[in-house]
């Protein structure tokens, strides 16, 4: 009785001490003197809540039963801390910038702040953690009874009173006192963290003390100890590769997903930099914790009577040796392990339950009609307290239902496998933008269902699932047998369940994510989570000062204009009771400033600007996106205006060009009509004058009669020719000409043209040169002859040499036939060379019968025949070059 | 004493026709067919009357007339302008240049004689 009384007294004293530590830490934090609280060492020690009673008592039991396999539980977190340091940092960054309060909050925030998902994760966490809490109750209860064995009255007391119940109630009260004393927006609990750090030291010290006692006090040093280990059954233990890998992965996953781990890793994190220290310090802590596990187990197996619970060796070995003090220390270590885990787990779960289940229901019931913020605050605290009570009650129930006889490690692993179901949604959420709410929900549900079916329910023994179901499957469906799902038999039940639940969870998560479309909010959150490092810096706390007020004023002046900004700042300063223009940058003032600015630059931009100047607040992706949105709208508007104005300019330019063209055409048309009029009226004038002379017949001599009649005739012919040319040109220009394509020899065309111009009777001598005149043509021979005749006739008319001579030279060049008409006259002056092909153009001072349409017509004809006509300068006389495509077929002769 | 008329025109047939009808009417007819030196030819031959074509090789009838009107000896010289481009604008240009009379080709022989007689009678 005395022992038990002492034990209880020590426990109470210990708890009081913890409470004092927590209280002092809270006070220090409140007064802003808690810098030492924000040390990476405190952070590292707080992570030690990973080591629960399971680690403290269970690891030795595990080693006694399964050898070195207990190490996997330490290996997983070590790998995460060392190898996945950056992933943890990402999670911490997300948690801080997004003000994440729990695992459920993280997952639901990532997937579009989904309430359903939050509830699912919360329920899964509660169900998953319940066995774990029961494990703590069981270990504390066991340790009480271990002490009580030597004490008959105590044993009776233990038997009479339900120790586990009292432990549960005690822990609930303890947690409520610690965890819900006040509400912090960031869900930080400085006092609790400090208490946990103290407990971390106590449990490590206790375990090492027992270890040292075992190795040096009992075994007689390291050497003899090693021999004992070699001799024991642990020495013969074989590594089961599958289990080893599976358990390592499971513990790594649980390290990330356990609500209490998330609480200390992310929520309670003060500074990302602490991770740097924890990355090596925490694995070191784990190593120290595991250092003496095997020696204690070996000595326990040697010293303790067969059948005694190896989970209690840490306690029972010192007790059996009469070392009550050491046993007491050991008991406190275990007590520390259990309480710290329960406190943090209960706080984390209570936060989730109250935030995601109780509060939404409460707000819905009251239609948001709580009479004030203090009212809501009261409800939140009440919800938290109730939640803590419920969580512990569930743990106690599980302990009672499962019978309390199971090995601690086995219970822990069930929890691990359950919580690991959160991993795909969590890791996918922060690394894969394509992950969707539906994917996460589907994966979670399937994983949770398989875990519950194949691992959790069989845990309860025959009470939950009948032997028939275990043997034959539900309704005789063999492939649904809990421990042989899908026909896979003979695998370790834990591995079997973890494998199926996690792999199906991951597969369903990925597949459903791929085929479902995320909502805009999900996309946004996904982008923020996955790209957290691109958009945020390590946030610091706001510490506003007058200096920042000045910066704010400078900015406000730029945006609002000096007069308005100054009067606004003055009013604000007066409102705070300050003289002058610079108010304190209180949140109130900042909010009003933002509103003021947003009138000018848009809400998002205003927020980003104020945040920028306040420095501390990071400009979040949301802010940036909103700014980009506003900017995009403005840009779109201005680009629309721009497009419109450029369209107008373009239309105006087009109109101007069209107008110019019309004017030009009109001028051309006038000039053309005027020309035609002139060309027609000139022969008509002669015809009319002479015909009147002939009609009047006055003073006419017979020779005049003939002459005037022939002039009339010639002018009539000239008129006809002119009309013919005009029509011809019109047809050619409109492209309405119909060509009469025939085969013929180029030389024949030239001969015919020379004959048609009647050069034999004139002075012009025509010389034909060129080897290629025996060329077969396939073209409109008549039109070609028309061109040739025109060119020969021009030479006749214009060649001013004493002995006029025209050389017609034929050449083949490439695929073309070149016919040059070169006379020995003075040629066409350079300034006129480009003009000769214009309609009605006539080289000045030349008397000629033509209307000046000949070359214009010729050029049009050549264009229709696929050739060209051009003036060839530098030939010593007038020179025209006709070029036309050669016929496909050459002369057959 | 017969009046002397100078025809400045580049169409030989038209010169021949006008020469015939004016000779028949008792005029002394002279002709020139180039625009370049038309002004000096007019001054050299000092005709009583000039028949001036508008479209001449070298220089337009309007330019020649403007030059003639700018000189004291010829500023009152009666000038009958002939043009084959019978548009209103051509008549305007002729009047502005100082033409005494304006006729469009083709003309009636009787009209030409009548016009010339009217011009010298003034």
What span, in angstroms and rounded, lies between the C-alpha atoms of A707 and A700? Answer: 11
Which of B17, B58, B85 would best serve as a mutation to test chain A binding (most A beta carbons within 10 A)? B17
Residue A750 half-sphere exposure, CB side, CA atoms within 13 Å?
A: 24
For every residue of A623-692, DSSP letters joined together read HHHHHHHHHHHHHHHHHHHHHHHHHHHHHHHHHHHHHHHHHHHHHHHHHHHHHHHHHHHHHHHHHHHHHH
B106 pLDDT exceeds 50? yes
A294 pLDDT exceeds 70? yes
**Is the Cβ–Cβ distance between B35 and B64 less than 8 Å?**
yes
Check A681 against B58: CB less than 8 A apart. no
Q: Which tokens sit at A817?
A: 């036939």
Using a CB-CB cut-off of 8 Å, the residues of chain A touching B16 are: 711
Q: How far from the centroid of its chain's Cα atoms is residue A534's Cα?
A: 11
Q: Which residues contact residue A889 at a Cβ distance below 8 angstroms, ignoring those fewer than 6 apart?
A: A743, A776, A778
Check A845 against B57: CB less than 8 A apart. yes
pLDDT of residue B81: 92
pLDDT of residue A305: 77
pLDDT of residue A745: 86
pLDDT of residue A361: 79
Using a CB-CB cut-off of 8 Å, the residues of chain A touching B110 are: 692
Check B21 against A684: CB less than 8 A apart. no
**Is the Cβ–Cβ distance between A143 and A318 less than 8 Å?**
no
The predicted-structure confidence for A655-691, as pLDDT tens digits, reads as follows 888 888 888 878 877 777 877 888 888 889 999 999 9
**Helices A493-515 and A408-419, axial angle in degrees (round to 10):** 10
Ramachandran angles phi, psi of A305, nearest 5°? -65, 145
Mean pLDDT, residues A828-842 taken together: 77
CATH number for A737-885 (one of 3.90.1520.10, 3.30.1360.200, 3.30.565.10, 3.30.70.260): it is: 3.30.565.10
Q: Which tokens sit at A232?
A: 């024991």
B95 pLDDT exceeds 90? no
What span, in angstroms and rounded, lies between the C-alpha atoms of A16 and A46? Answer: 19
Which of A678, A688, A704 is nearest residue B84 as measured by Cβ atoms?
A678
3-class state of residue A84 by DSSP: coil
Q: At A550, which helix (H) or strand (E)?
A: helix A546-560
Which of A673, A682, A849 would best serve as a mutation to test chain B binding (most B beta carbons within 10 A)? A682
Check A689 against B109: CB less than 8 A apart. yes
pLDDT of residue A697: 79
Using a CB-CB cut-off of 8 Å, the residues of chain B touching A851 are: none
What span, in angstroms and rounded, lies between the C-alpha atoms of A386 and A753? Answer: 119
Distances (CA, A) of A558 to A553, A555, A566, B18: 9, 5, 11, 90
pLDDT of residue A743: 87
Closest CA to A512 of A425, A439, A600: A439
A324 vs A618, more confident = A324
Closest CA to A597 of A573, A577, A627, A575: A627
To the question of domain A627-729 being in CATH 1.10.287.130, the answer is yes
A707 pLDDT exceeds 60? yes
**Is the Cβ–Cβ distance between B41 and B59 less than 8 Å?**
no
Check B14 against A682: CB less than 8 A apart. yes
pLDDT of residue A690: 92
The bridge status of strand B79-83 relative to strand B28-32 is unpaired
A237 vs A808, more confident = A808
CATH code for the structural domain at A2-436+517-532: 1.20.1730.10
pLDDT of residue A381: 80
For every residue of A491-524, DSSP letters joined together read S-HHHHHHHHHHHHHHHHHHHHHHHSPPPHHHHH
Which residue of A lies nearest to B84 if distances are taken between CA atoms? A678
Q: Which tokens sit at B4?
A: 């002397």
pLDDT of residue A453: 82
Q: Which tokens sit at A269?
A: 């994190």
Mean pLDDT, residues A64-81 taken together: 84
Using a CB-CB cut-off of 8 Å, the residues of chain A touching B58 are: 844-845
* A237 beta partners: none
Mean pLDDT, residues A556-577 taken together: 80
Return mean pLDDT, chain A: 78
User: What's the gap in Å between the CA of A709 and the closest CA on chain B?
Assistant: 12
Using a CB-CB cut-off of 8 Å, the residues of chain B touching A682 are: 11, 14, 84, 105
pLDDT-derived band of residue A623, with 50, 70 and 90 as boundaries? low
Check B108 against A692: CB less than 8 A apart. yes
The predicted-structure confidence for A497-520, as pLDDT tens digits, reads as follows 888 888 888 999 999 888 887 776
Which of A678, A679, A714 would best serve as a mutation to test chain B binding (most B beta carbons within 10 A)? A678
A203 pLDDT exceeds 90? no
**Residue appearing with tokens 């009958």:** B80
For residue A577, the 8-state DSSP code is T
pLDDT of residue A127: 86
Which of A685, A698, A847 is nearest residue B84 as measured by Cβ atoms?
A685
Check B109 against A698: CB less than 8 A apart. no
**Is the Cβ–Cβ distance between A338 and A346 less than 8 Å?**
no
Which of A677, A698, A840 would best serve as a mutation to test chain B binding (most B beta carbons within 10 A)? A677
Every domain of chain A and the residues it spans: 2-436+517-532, 546-619, 627-729, 737-885
Using a CB-CB cut-off of 8 Å, the residues of chain A touching B10 are: 847
Q: Which tokens sit at B92?
A: 């305007």
What span, in angstroms and rounded, lies between the C-alpha atoms of A456 and A127? Answer: 9
pLDDT-derived band of residue B31, with 50, 70 and 90 as boundaries? very high
pLDDT of residue A37: 67
Using a CB-CB cut-off of 8 Å, the residues of chain A touching B21 are: 689, 692-693
B74 vs A554, more confident = B74
A880 pLDDT exceeds 70? yes
Which residue of B lies nearest to A684 if distances are taken between CA atoms? B106
Which of A678, A699, A844 is nearest residue B57 as measured by Cβ atoms?
A844
A275 pLDDT exceeds 50? yes
pLDDT of residue A501: 87
Closest CA to A203 of A51, A46, A54, A21: A51
Q: Which tokens sit at A823?
A: 């006379």
Which residues of A lie inside 8 Å of B (Cβ-Cβ)? Answer: 674, 677-682, 684-690, 692-693, 696, 698-699, 704, 711, 715, 844-847
Q: Which tokens sit at B83?
A: 């043009």
Mean pLDDT, residues B51-79 taken together: 88
A489 vs A200, more confident = A200
3-class state of residue A844 by DSSP: coil
pLDDT of residue A578: 76
pLDDT of residue A521: 67
Q: Which residues contact residue A702 at a Cβ distance below 8 angstroms, ignoring those fewer than 6 apart?
A: none
Ramachandran angles phi, psi of B54, nearest 5°? -85, -50
Q: What pTM was computed for the model?
A: 0.54
Q: How many residues does chain A have?
A: 893
For residue A743, the 8-state DSSP code is E
pLDDT-derived band of residue A460, with 50, 70 and 90 as boundaries? low
What span, in angstroms and rounded, lies between the C-alpha atoms of A490 and A656? Answer: 90
Mean pLDDT, residues A366-388 taken together: 68
Distances (CA, A) of A295 to A89, A201, A239, A331, A333: 36, 21, 19, 18, 18
Distances (CA, A) of A506 to A106, A209, A482, A511: 18, 44, 20, 9
* B101 beta partners: B80
For every residue of A646-661, DSSP letters joined together read HHHHHHHHHHHHHHHH
Which of A674, A685, A844 is nearest residue B85 as measured by Cβ atoms?
A674
Three-state SS letters, chain B: CCCEEEEECCCHHHHHHHHHHHHHCCCEEEEECCCCCHHHHHHHHCCCEEEEECCCCCCCHHHHHHHHHHCHHHCCCCEEEEECCCCHHHHHHHHHHCCCEEEECCCCHHHHHHHHHHHHHC
Which residue of B lies nearest to A843 if distances are taken between CA atoms? B57
Q: Which tokens sit at A490?
A: 């003979």
Buried b (16+ CB within 10 A) or exposed e, A140-157: bbbbbbbbbbebeebbeb
Which residue of A lies nearest to B18 if distances are taken between CA atoms? A689
Closest CA to A864 of A741, A696, A685: A741
Cβ atoms within 10 Å, residue A887: 16
Pick the most confident of A92-106, A267-281, B40-54.
B40-54
Q: How much of chain A, in percent, has pLDDT values that exceed 90?
A: 3
Which residues of B lie inside 8 Å of A (Cβ-Cβ)? Answer: 10-14, 16-18, 20-21, 24, 34, 55, 57-58, 84-87, 104-110
ipTM (interface predicted TM)? 0.93
**Residue appearing with tokens 């061109």:** A787
pLDDT-derived band of residue A333, with 50, 70 and 90 as boundaries? confident
Which of B34, B84, B110 is nearest residue A681 as measured by Cβ atoms?
B84
What span, in angstroms and rounded, lies between the C-alpha atoms of A851 and A317? Answer: 134
A619 pLDDT exceeds 60? no
**In the CATH scheme, what is the homologous superfamily, with its name and number, of domain B4-121?**
Response regulator (3.40.50.2300)
Closest CA to A65 of A233, A248, A314, A246: A233
pLDDT of residue A5: 75
**Residue appearing with tokens 């020719």:** A721
A538 pLDDT exceeds 50? no
Using a CB-CB cut-off of 8 Å, the residues of chain B touching A711 are: 13, 16
A435 pLDDT exceeds 80? yes
Q: How much of chain A, in percent, has pLDDT values that exceed 70?
A: 81
The bridge status of strand A765-769 relative to strand A805-813 is parallel
Check B87 against A677: CB less than 8 A apart. yes
Order of all β-strands in the sheet with B28-32: B28-32, B4-8, B49-53, B79-83, B101-104
Task: Please count the residue pairs, one from chain A and one from chain B, whose beta carbons lie less than 8 angstroms apart.
Answer: 70
What span, in angstroms and rounded, lies between the C-alpha atoms of A803 and B99? Answer: 45
Distances (CA, A) of B52 to B25, B43, B117: 19, 14, 16
Check A692 against B58: CB less than 8 A apart. no
3-class state of residue A883 by DSSP: strand
User: What's the gap in Å between the CA of A849 and the closest CA on chain B?
Assistant: 10
* B79 beta partners: B50
Using a CB-CB cut-off of 8 Å, the residues of chain A touching B107 are: 685, 688-689
The predicted-structure confidence for A237-252, as pLDDT tens digits, reads as follows 666 677 788 888 888 8
What span, in angstroms and rounded, lies between the C-alpha atoms of A99 and A96? Answer: 5
Using a CB-CB cut-off of 8 Å, the residues of chain B touching A679 are: 84
**Residue appearing with tokens 């696929």:** A866
A474 pLDDT exceeds 80? no
Which residue of A lies nearest to B53 if distances are taken between CA atoms? A682
pLDDT of residue A473: 61
Which of B9, B10, B12, B13 would best serve as a mutation to test chain A binding (most A beta carbons within 10 A)? B13
A717 vs A615, more confident = A717
Check B21 against A677: CB less than 8 A apart. no
């Amino acid at each position: 009785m005395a022992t038990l009384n002492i034990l209880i007294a020590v426990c109470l004293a210990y708890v009081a001490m913890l409470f004092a530590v927590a209280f002092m830490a809270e006070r220090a934090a409140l007064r802003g003197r808690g810098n030492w609280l924000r040390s990476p060492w405190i952070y590292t020690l707080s992570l030690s809540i990973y080591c629960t009673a399971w680690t403290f008592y269970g690891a030795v039991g595990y080693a006694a039963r399964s050898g070195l396999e207990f190490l996997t539980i330490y290996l997983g977190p070590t790998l995460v801390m060392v190898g996945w340091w950056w992933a943890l940092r990402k999670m911490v960054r997300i948690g801080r910038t997004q003000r994440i309060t729990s695992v459920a909050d993280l997952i639901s925030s990532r997937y579009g702040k989904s309430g359903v998902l939050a509830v699912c994760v919360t329920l899964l966490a509660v169900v998953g953690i319940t066995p774990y809490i029961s494990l703590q109750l069981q270990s504390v209860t066991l340790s009480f009874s271990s002490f009580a064995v030597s004490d008959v009255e105590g044993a009776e007391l233990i038997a009479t009173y339900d120790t586990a119940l009292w432990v549960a109630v005690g822990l609930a009260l303890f947690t409520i006192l610690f965890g819900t004393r006040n509400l912090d927006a960031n869900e930080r609990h400085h006092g609790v963290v400090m208490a946990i750090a103290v407990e971390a030291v106590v449990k490590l010290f206790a375990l090492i003390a027992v270890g040292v006692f075992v190795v040096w006090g009992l075994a007689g040093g390291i050497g003899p100890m090693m021999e004992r280990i070699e001799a024991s059954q642990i020495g013969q233990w074989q590594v089961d590769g599958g289990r080893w890998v599976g358990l390592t992965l499971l513990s790594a996953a649980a390290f990330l997903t356990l609500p209490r781990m998330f609480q200390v890793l992310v929520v309670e994190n003060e500074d990302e930099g602490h991770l740097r220290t924890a990355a090596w310090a925490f694995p070191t802590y784990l190593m120290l914790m595991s250092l003496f596990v095997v020696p204690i187990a070996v000595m326990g197996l040697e010293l303790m009577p067969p059948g005694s619970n190896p989970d209690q060796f840490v306690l029972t070995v010192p007790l059996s040796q009469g070392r009550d003090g050491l046993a007491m220390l050991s008991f406190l270590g275990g007590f520390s392990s259990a309480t710290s885990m329960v406190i943090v787990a209960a706080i984390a779960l209570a936060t989730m339950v109250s935030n995601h289940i109780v509060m939404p229901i409460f707000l819905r019931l009251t239609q948001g009609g709580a009479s004030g913020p203090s009212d809501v605050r009261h409800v939140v605290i009440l919800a938290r307290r109730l939640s803590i009570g419920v969580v512990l009650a569930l743990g106690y129930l599980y302990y009672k239902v499962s019978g309390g006889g199971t090995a601690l490690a086995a219970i822990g692993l069930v929890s691990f496998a359950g919580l690991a179901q959160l991993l795909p949604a969590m890791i996918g959420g922060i690394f894969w933008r394509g992950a969707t709410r539906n994917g996460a929900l589907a994966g979670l549900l399937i994983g949770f269902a398989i875990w519950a079916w194949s691992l959790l329910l069989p845990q309860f023994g025959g009470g939950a699932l009948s032997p028939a179901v275990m043997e034959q499957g539900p309704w005789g469906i063999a492939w649904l047998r809990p421990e042989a799902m899908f026909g896979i038999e003979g695998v370790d039940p834990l591995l079997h369940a973890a494998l199926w639940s996690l792999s199906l969870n991951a597969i369903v998560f990925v597949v459903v994510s791929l085929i479902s479309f995320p909502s805009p909010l999900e996309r946004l959150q996904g982008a923020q989570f996955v790209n957290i490092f691109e958009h945020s810096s390590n946030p610091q706390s706001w510490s506003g000062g007058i200096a920042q007020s000045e910066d704010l004023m400078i900015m406000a002046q730029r945006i609002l204009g000096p007069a308005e900004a100054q009067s606004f700042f003055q009013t604000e300063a007066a409102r705070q009771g300050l003289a002058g223009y610079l108010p304190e940058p209180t949140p109130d003032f900042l909010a009003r400033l933002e509103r003021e600015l947003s009138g000018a630059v848009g809400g998002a931009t205003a927020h980003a600007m104020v945040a920028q100047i306040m420095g501390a607040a990071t400009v979040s992706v949301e802010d940036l996106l909103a700014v980009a949105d506003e900017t995009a709208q403005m840009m779109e508007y201005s680009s629309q205006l721009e497009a419109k104005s450029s369209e107008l300019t373009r239309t105006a330019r087009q109109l101007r060009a069209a107008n110019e063209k019309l004017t030009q055409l009109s001028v051309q048309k006038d000039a053309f009509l005027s020309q035609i009029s002139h060309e027609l009226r000139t022969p008509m004038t002669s015809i009319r004058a002479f015909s009147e002379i002939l009609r009047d017949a006055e003073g006419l001599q017979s020779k005049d009669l003939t002459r005037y009649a022939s002039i009339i005739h010639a002018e009539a012919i000239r008129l006809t020719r002119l009309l013919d040319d005009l029509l011809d040109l019109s047809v050619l220009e409109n492209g309405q000409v119909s060509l009469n394509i025939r085969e013929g020899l180029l030389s024949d065309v030239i001969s015919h043209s020379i004959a048609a111009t009647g050069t034999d009777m004139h002075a012009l001598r025509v010389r034909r040169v060129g080897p290629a005149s025996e060329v077969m043509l396939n073209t409109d021979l008549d039109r070609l002859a028309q061109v040739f005749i025109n060119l020969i006739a021009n030479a006749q008319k214009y060649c001013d040499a004493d002995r006029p001579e025209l050389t017609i030279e034929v050449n083949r060049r490439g695929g073309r036939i070149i016919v040059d008409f070169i006379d020995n006259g003075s040629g066409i002056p350079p300034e006129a060379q480009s003009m000769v092909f214009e309609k009605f153009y006539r080289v000045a001072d030349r008397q000629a019968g033509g209307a000046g349409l000949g070359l214009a017509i010729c050029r049009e004809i050549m264009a229709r025949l696929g050739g060209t006509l051009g003036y060839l300068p530098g030939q010593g006389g007038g020179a025209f070059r006709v070029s036309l495509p050669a016929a496909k077929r050459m002369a057959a002769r | 004493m017969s009046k002397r008329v100078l025809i400045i025109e580049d169409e030989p047939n038209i010169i021949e026709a006008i020469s015939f009808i004016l000779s028949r009417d008792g005029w002394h007819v002279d002709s020139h067919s180039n625009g370049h030196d038309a002004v000096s030819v007019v001054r050299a031959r000092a005709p009583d009357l000039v028949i001036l074509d508008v479209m001449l090789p070298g220089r337009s009838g309007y330019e020649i007339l403007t030059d003639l009107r700018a000189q004291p000896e010829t500023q009152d010289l009666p000038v009958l302008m002939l043009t084959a481009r019978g548009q209103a604008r051509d008549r305007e240009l002729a009047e502005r240049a100082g033409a005494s009379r304006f006729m469009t080709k083709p003309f009636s022989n009787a009209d030409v004689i009548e016009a010339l007689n009217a011009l010298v009678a003034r």
